[in-house]
């Protein structure tokens, strides 16, 4: 536990420039130089500089935000003894989290951070859900986020537990379908158009070639009607006729096979296009409903008048399906 606390101290020390309000970074560089110059001027004239005023305003904003996010949860009328104790513990962890965030915002050294963490852990560990709150808060802070995110999720549910993450994933998938399916459908339609063009060409070729060959056969049959033909001439004409008939059969078979293959491609792709259009229409119809469901779930999960941003943050940083100390960002 001590090693873990020291590691978190080091992480938080590195994140001191990150604002407690949902990882909103303070302006650096130029602002720091301005503050240095303003402080020099302030020492001479005794007046508060613009940078100092801005810093105080930011501190107040952060403090107000922390107070709002960790506001007391009211006990509903008719609550059982167990429910009252649970809410009491929740409020203890939220109060401890508010104090932690405010102290971290004022921390100047690693020792200040360590003291704040020690006092926080001592306070929350007296509650039934203390270890979980402590771990989640450390993960949130290691991500550069407000401590309240960890405390609220530990007490009221993570996006995985509330179903928010699943809804977000569904929405992302639906949007991907809406964005990508039209191009996929267009690709199939272009293929179908190309195959239909080939079918028309082959059909024309089939008619042309069969007509030519059938005309040749008819011509030979006409010649065979001549009674003056010798046996040798008749034999030669029959051989010629047989060769043309073979060519006719071969040509007809080959071209019809090509037509059958292309027709099958067209039919299969048309079914695919119909299915993809149905998927696209369903995605378009489902997206607003799913987005509304997500908004409702967020509102139901959020307790009181807090900023609801905490409900959607994924603390499972390593993506292993569980939230524990392994998710503390190194």
pLDDT tens digits, 47-83: 778 888 888 888 899 899 999 999 999 999 999 999 9
Q: Which two three-digit tokens encode residue 159?
A: 């996006």
Residue 79 falls inside a structural domain: yes
pLDDT tens-digit map of 83-95 = 999 999 999 999 9
Residues 213 and 279 grouped into a single domain? yes
- In this structure, the answer to whether residues 66 and 182 fall within a common structural domain is no
Question: 139 and 17: one domain?
Answer: yes
Contacts of 31 (CB under 8 A, 6+ apart): 51
* Mean pLDDT value across the chain: 88
Residue 330 scores a pLDDT above 80: yes
CATH number of residue 275's parent domain? 1.10.287.1700
15 and 108 in a single domain? The answer is yes
**In this predicted structure, what is the pLDDT of residue 6?**
52
- Closest Cα partner for 327 from 3, 8, 6? 8
The torsion angle over the Cα atoms of residues 70, 4, 24 and 152, rounded to 10 degrees, is: -30
Specify whether 287 is located in the same domain as 198.
Answer: yes
Q: pLDDT tens-digit profile of 118-160?
A: 999 999 999 999 999 999 999 999 999 999 999 999 999 999 9
Strand partners, 40: none
Q: Judge if 88 and 115 occupy the same domain.
A: yes
pLDDT of residue 38: 43
42 pLDDT band, cuts 50/70/90, is very low
Residues 11 and 102 in one domain: yes
The pLDDT confidence band at residue 277, using thresholds 50, 70 and 90, is: very high
Residue 24 — very low, low, confident or very high, per pLDDT cuts 50/70/90?
very low
Please indicate, yes or no, if residue 309 is contained in any of the structural domains.
Answer: no
Query: CA geometry: angle at 216 spanning 212 and 219, to 5°?
Result: 135
Structural domain total, the chain: 2
Q: 248, 217 in Cβ contact below 8 A?
A: yes
Regarding whether 200 and 150 lie in a shared domain, the answer is no
State mean pLDDT over 8-28. 46
Task: Give pLDDT, residue 34.
Answer: 40
In a domain, 256, yes or no: yes
First to last CA, the chain: 16
Give CA–CA dist 313/309, Å, rounded: 7
Q: Is residue 192 part of a domain?
A: yes
> What are the CA-CA distances from residue 258 to residues 156, 207, 212 (Å)?
65, 14, 20
323 found inside a domain: yes
- Of 47 and 205, the structure prediction assigns the larger pLDDT to 205
Residue 306 lies in a domain: no
Using CB atoms within 10 Å of the CB of residue 327, give its burial: 0 to 12 exposed, 13 to 18 middle, 19+ buried.
buried
Residues linked to residue 18 through DSSP beta bridges, in sequence order: 25
Alpha carbon 181 to its chain's center: 17
| Confidence grade of residue 15 (pLDDT, cut at 50, 70, 90) | low
User: What is the 8-class DSSP label of residue 321?
Assistant: S
238 and 255 in a single domain? The answer is: yes
**pLDDT class of 289 with cuts at 50, 70, 90:** very high
pLDDT higher than 70, residue 19: no
153 and 170 co-located in one domain: no
What range does the domain containing 224 cover?
166-301
User: Predicted confidence band at 17 (pLDDT cuts at 50, 70, 90)?
Assistant: very low
> Has residue 307 been placed in a domain?
no
Same domain, residue pair 154 and 288? no
- Residue 308 located in a structural domain: no
At 267, list the tokens.
């039919």
154 and 28 belong to one structural domain: yes
């Amino acid at each position: 536990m001590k090693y873990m606390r020291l590691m978190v101290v080091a992480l938080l020390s590195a994140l001191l420039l990150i604002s407690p309000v949902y990882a909103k970074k303070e302006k650096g560089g130029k602002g720091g130089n301005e503050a240095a110059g303003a402080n020099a001027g302030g020492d001479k004239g005794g007046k508060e500089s613009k940078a100092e005023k801005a810093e105080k305003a930011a501190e107040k904003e952060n403090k107000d935000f922390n107070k709002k996010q960790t506001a007391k949860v009211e006990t509903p009328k008719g609550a059982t003894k167990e429910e009252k104790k649970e809410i009491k513990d929740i409020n203890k962890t939220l109060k401890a989290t508010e104090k932690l965030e405010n102290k971290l915002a004022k921390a100047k050294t690693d020792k200040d951070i360590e003291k704040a963490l020690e006092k926080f852990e001592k306070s929350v560990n007296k509650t039934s859900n203390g270890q979980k709150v402590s771990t989640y808060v450390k993960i949130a802070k290691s991500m550069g986020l407000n401590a309240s995110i960890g405390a609220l999720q530990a007490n009221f549910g993570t996006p995985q537990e509330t179903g928010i993450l699943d809804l977000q994933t569904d929405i992302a998938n639906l949007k991907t379908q809406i964005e990508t399916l039209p191009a996929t459908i267009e690709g199939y339609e272009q293929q179908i158009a190309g195959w239909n063009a080939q079918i028309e060409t082959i059909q024309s070729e089939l008619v042309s070639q069969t007509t030519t060959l059938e005309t040749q056969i008819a011509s030979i049959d006409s010649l065979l009607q001549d009674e003056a033909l010798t046996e040798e001439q008749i034999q030669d004409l029959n051989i010629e006729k047989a060769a043309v008939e073979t060519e006719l059969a071969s040509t007809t078979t080959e071209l019809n096979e090509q037509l059958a293959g292309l027709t099958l491609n067209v039919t299969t792709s048309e079914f695919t296009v119909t299915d993809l259009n149905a998927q696209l229409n369903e995605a378009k119809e489902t997206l607003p409903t799913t987005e509304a469901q997500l908004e409702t779930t967020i509102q139901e999960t959020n307790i009181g008048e807090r900023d609801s941003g905490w409900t959607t943050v994924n603390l499972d940083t390593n993506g292993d399906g569980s939230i524990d100390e392994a998710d503390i960002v190194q």
